[in-house]
Structure 1
Amino acid sequence: MAAIISCHYCTFPATTKVFRPINPFRFPSASSHAYFRRFGTRCSTNKQHPFDLQNKQKGRSFSFKECAVSIALAVGLVTGVPGLDWWSNAYAAEPVFSDLSVLISGPPIKDPGALLRYALPINNKAIREVQKPLEDITDSLKVAGVKALDSVERNVRQSSRALKQGKTLIVSGLAESKKEHGVELLNKLETGMDELQQIVEDRNRDAVAPKQKELLQYVGGVEEDMVDGFPYEVPEEYQSMPLLKGRATVDMKVKVKDNPNLDECVFRIVLDGYNAPVTAGNFVDLVKRRFYDGMEIQRADGFVVQTGDPEGPAEGFIDPSTEKTRTIPLEIMVDGEKAPVYGATLEELGIYKAQTRLPFNAFGTMAMARDEFEDNSASSQVFWLLKESELTPSNANILDGRYAVFGYVTENEDFLADLKVGDVIESIEVVSGLDNLVNPSYKIAG
């Protein structure tokens, strides 16, 4: 199975056992040996270690330089101290920060819906100023009792004022072909804002969150109506691959075994082709091929849930038209950039502190697994992160910028933690957005 993280190789005495840590992201506080025991997926006793990434033999010798780079990078990522300046100075690239950083500054955003809204390729400050106070209601509701409603009331007033003052600019930002729909949503948003204000005045705390969710759906719809076509050209070498030029939603139905409290569950997943068209397109194409139907969950260790490794010697999807494994490039959108970077991690590009547009912040973040040492080796294996951003904060972990995020579980994500190895994916169905898939290989005979 493809790895989502692994150690660079270290040599232990002959009596050292193979370590399989529960949490490979627990960083060292004592020695480098502790680092590799806690950080890697496997360390063996040989000087040239077989690297078990996809249950296959892949040899690579230990390099002291690689270990030093890994340790320095990990320290820099955790502490914020640039421990790799001597390395990154070889690159001219500088971290890129979005114009929206002021609007969304603060604690890491964990809500998948909010992450998807902020990830849309739009540049309309007026609608973001409406959105931000509505998103902040979530934090306001963390205060106990009805006292929370005082903060909620300020949020609502701020958002309502921003909507009234910025409506003209918001309407002007709508794509011409979607303007009628966008205006309709804005009218619903205005009405809903008044209704939320009344809920607050009635001190009905329980009704706040459902109404907030409804209003944010309107906001997200308006923002999507601002996207006019696909915003950039995919590099020529990838243009013939299945590409998701927009977003799609899928429902993944899982049959759960040996759990008296859960028999089956349907996970709704939003796939973001705006920021990962090749990665999301590959997945949707495999879904339409029924590649995942009947496949078991293959890893469920409390850190991630992973699947996608087919039976037999193949490490990924074998395209019947070529009889070869179809692989896709590593694809990462940097916040503030107009198109993704391909074929290299952000640390390899010298911009490991840059923010990614789709961060590993949310419980249920979906990404591609790949060979640790081959950036462009992803094929069919996917994983969902089970840790929230307090443990793996955006831009301070070894996932962001190294693995391609292409979606989030937006419904029933909490049940991912209940999945076990051997649970079966009964089906994955595309429920919307299939028309955004171009070059669909599943339509080719065979």
Structure 2
Amino acid sequence: MADLLTYSSKFNLPNISTKQIRFFNHSKSIRVHQFVPHCTSRLPFQHKEKASIFSLKECAFSIALAIGLVTGVPSPTYAFPTNPALSELSVLISGPPIKDPGALLRYALPINNKAIREVQKPLEDITESLKVSGQKALDSVERNVRQASRALKQGRPLILSGLAESKRDNGKELLDKLEVGLGDFQKVVEEKKREAVAPKQKELLQYVGAVEEDMVDGFPYEVPEEYRNMPLLKGRATVDMKVKVKDNPNVDECVFRIVLDGYNAPVTAGNFIDLVERHFYDGMEIQRADGFVVQTGDPKGPAEGFIDPSTEKPRTIPLEIMVEGDKAPVYGASLEELGLYKAQTKLPFNAFGTMAMAREEFEDNSASSQVFWLLKESELTPSNANILDGRYAVFGYVIQNEDYLADLKVGDVIESVQVVSGLDNLANPSYKIAG
């Protein structure tokens, strides 16, 4: 088992030529959106049961086997290392990964303010507290709320000092709302309204995330010169993807809300939002849905990506990976090729609904328009131990209705993808160029 976990971050993925499965070739207002995307069910809503729990060995083996399954070719024979280093393995599985997309996005912001993180952490821990039954859960939630309130009171001066000057007024207003919300939360717990805990937690974490975004003062680095004139998302944007579902008795249509992270993937996210504004994905079918990923973006005809009408040539973008601790992404090479086997990616494949770019296995800079969403959580294969981190460019997460991705099938139609916010963060928008 140790061999499998260690080696899974280092092997080369098999070569595939079929384009449909290229992925496995290996203002100033408060910015908390009230609109909630929806899914329309043909049947009354029923709770989705989680998949059955495999043993650790079975799960890891299934991940390795998935390579052959999703590519449509026989699984290759792997030569596993004979003497894996236990110290390396301990690094790979040292702690449980963060799987919540909202938390991943908060921690991915280019900020360093311990005071706000000390407010954030106990609020996020409420999710674990609620897994306990009975009164013990609410007792634990109450401790979480008190800890967050205390951290906000003690750390408020440091939080205020961390706000960008141009966003200071907005940040102060958010902190006031957060303080009031924590007081309301305390009353919810005291009145034992367990059903109100999760919605209140989500609301307050939205305030926390908005405060953290107000700490970012401009775009934090220069994109390399060779990519500087491409569409670049210098910040974040939110899009809604509406999908018409066919032949599914449970779901008729669904709107997926997606946050694109240009701080950590400006070229990749910029390319996507530029295509969204061209309506490139509108009317396109889901082209792959195999239980491991959902994928689309392959246009009709011989082209495997976007043909820019202004040049009549394919537009491709470089592989773009932000490493934890670095100030700018690495371009044009996977972390494996760079020998960075233990490096943690800033945007990991931890969350159900992680969004990334497909590309050719042996061509790092071949991504164009094909995108995919992961349908697995990295519970047993933490960051940098799975088969995706550092090989494919993550640039966003589905933050609402992500569970419904598993209901999508090949042939379901993307009716529209629309930008909800953040379009003003797009630099060099090529969609505005005539022709």
TM-score range, shorter chain: 0.7 to 0.9
Q: Give me the whole-angstrom Cα distance separating, in 2, the residues matched to 1:394 and 1:296.
A: 31
Instruction: Verify: 1:169 aligned to 2:158, yes or no.
Output: yes
Letter in 1 for 2:148: S
Q: Deviations over 1:148-198 (max 9, x none)?
A: 011111111111111111100000000000000000000111111111111
Pick aligned residue for 1:184 from 147, 162, 173: 173
After superposition, where does 1:244-393 map in structure 2 within 5 Å?
A: 244-393=233-382
Q: Give me the whole-angstrom Cα distance separating, in 1, the residues matched to 2:283 and 2:158.
A: 49
Instruction: Verify: 1:41 aligned to 2:99, yes or no.
Output: no
Q: Give me the whole-angstrom Cα distance separating, in 2, the residues matched to 1:231 and 1:390.
A: 31
Letter in 1 for 2:165: E
Instruction: Verify: 1:151 aligned to 2:140, yes or no.
Output: yes
1:111 aligned residue: 100
1:214 aligned residue: 203
Q: Give me the whole-angstrom Cα distance separating, in 2, the residues matched to 1:40 and 1:425.
A: 22
The CA deviation at 1:329 is 0.3
Q: Give me the whole-angstrom Cα distance separating, in 2, the residues matched to 1:267 and 1:329.
A: 26
Instruction: Verify: 1:224 aligned to 2:213, yes or no.
Output: yes
Contact kept in structure 1, 2:378 and 2:386, CA below 8 Å: no
Letter in 1 for 2:110: P
Q: Give me the whole-angstrom Cα distance separating, in 1, the residues matched to 2:126 and 2:346.
A: 23
Instruction: Verify: 1:133 aligned to 2:99, yes or no.
Output: no
Q: Deviations over 1:45-77 (max 9, x none)?
A: 9xxxxxxxxxxxxxxxx9x9xx65xx559x97x
Instruction: Give the SS at the match of 1:350.
Output: coil
Q: Deviations over 1:81-128 (max 9, x none)?
A: 759xxxxxxxxxxx9x9xxxxxxx942111111111111100001000
Letter in 1 for 2:71: T
Instruction: Verify: 1:431 aligned to 2:420, yes or no.
Output: yes
The CA deviation at 1:80 is 6.5
Instruction: Give the SS at the match of 1:251.
Output: strand
1:120 aligned residue: 109
Q: Give me the whole-angstrom Cα distance separating, in 2, the residues matched to 1:273 and 1:134.
A: 26
Instruction: Give the SS at the match of 2:22.
Output: coil
The CA deviation at 1:145 is 2.2
Letter in 1 for 2:272: F
2:22 aligned residue: 3
After superposition, where does 1:89-100 map in structure 2 within 5 Å?
A: none
Q: Deviations over 1:314-337 (max 9, x none)?
A: 010001111111000000000111
The CA deviation at 1:40 is 7.1
Q: Give me the whole-angstrom Cα distance separating, in 1, the residues matched to 2:180 and 2:61.
A: 53
Q: Give me the whole-angstrom Cα distance separating, in 1, the residues matched to 2:60 and 2:264.
A: 30
Q: Give me the whole-angstrom Cα distance separating, in 2, the residues matched to 1:400 and 1:37.
A: 15
Q: Deviations over 1:245-301 (max 9, x none)?
A: 000000000000001221110000000000000000000000000110110000000
Q: Give me the whole-angstrom Cα distance separating, in 2, the residues matched to 1:197 and 1:37.
A: 48
1:13 aligned residue: none
Q: 1:417 to 1:392 in 2, by over 3 A?
A: farther
Q: Give me the whole-angstrom Cα distance separating, in 1, the residues matched to 2:105 and 2:350.
A: 11
The percentage of counterpart residues that share the same residue type is 79
Contact kept in structure 2, 1:332 and 1:404, CA below 8 Å: yes
Q: Give me the whole-angstrom Cα distance separating, in 2, the residues matched to 1:151 and 1:255.
A: 41
Contact kept in structure 2, 1:363 and 1:387, CA below 8 Å: yes
Letter in 2 for 1:409: V
Instruction: Give the SS at the match of 1:431.
Output: strand
Gapped regions of structure 1 (runs ≥ 5): 8-24, 46-61, 84-94, 98-104
Q: Give me the whole-angstrom Cα distance separating, in 1, the residues matched to 2:168 and 2:212.
A: 11
1:57 aligned residue: none
Letter in 2 for 1:153: E
The CA deviation at 1:41 is 2.0
Q: 1:35 to 1:308 in 2, by over 3 A?
A: closer
Pick aligned residue for 1:441 from 419, 430, 433: 430
The CA deviation at 1:2 is 4.8
Q: Give me the whole-angstrom Cα distance separating, in 2, the residues matched to 1:81 and 1:179.
A: 45
Q: 1:186 to 1:28 in 2, by over 3 A?
A: closer
Instruction: Verify: 1:142 aligned to 2:131, yes or no.
Output: yes
Instruction: Give the SS at the match of 2:377.
Output: coil
Contact kept in structure 2, 1:332 and 1:341, CA below 8 Å: yes
Query: Root-mean-square deviation (CA), in Å?
Result: 2.5
Q: 1:171 to 1:256 in 2, by over 3 A?
A: same
Letter in 2 for 1:41: T
The CA deviation at 1:36 is 9.6
Q: Give me the whole-angstrom Cα distance separating, in 1, the residues matched to 2:423 and 2:287.
A: 27
2:51 aligned residue: none
Instruction: Verify: 1:396 aligned to 2:385, yes or no.
Output: yes
Q: 1:80 to 1:395 in 2, by over 3 A?
A: farther
Contact kept in structure 1, 2:96 and 2:382, CA below 8 Å: no
After superposition, where does 1:406-425 map in structure 2 within 5 Å?
A: 406-425=395-414
Q: Give me the whole-angstrom Cα distance separating, in 1, the residues matched to 2:281 and 2:67.
A: 33
Q: Structure 2 length normalisation: TM-score?
A: 0.83
Pick aligned residue for 1:243 from 219, 228, 232: 232
Q: Give me the whole-angstrom Cα distance separating, in 1, the residues matched to 2:244 and 2:306.
A: 23
Contact kept in structure 1, 2:233 and 2:427, CA below 8 Å: yes
Larger RCO of the pair (alpha carbons < 8 Å, separation 6+): 2
1:59 aligned residue: none
Contact kept in structure 2, 1:117 and 1:220, CA below 8 Å: yes
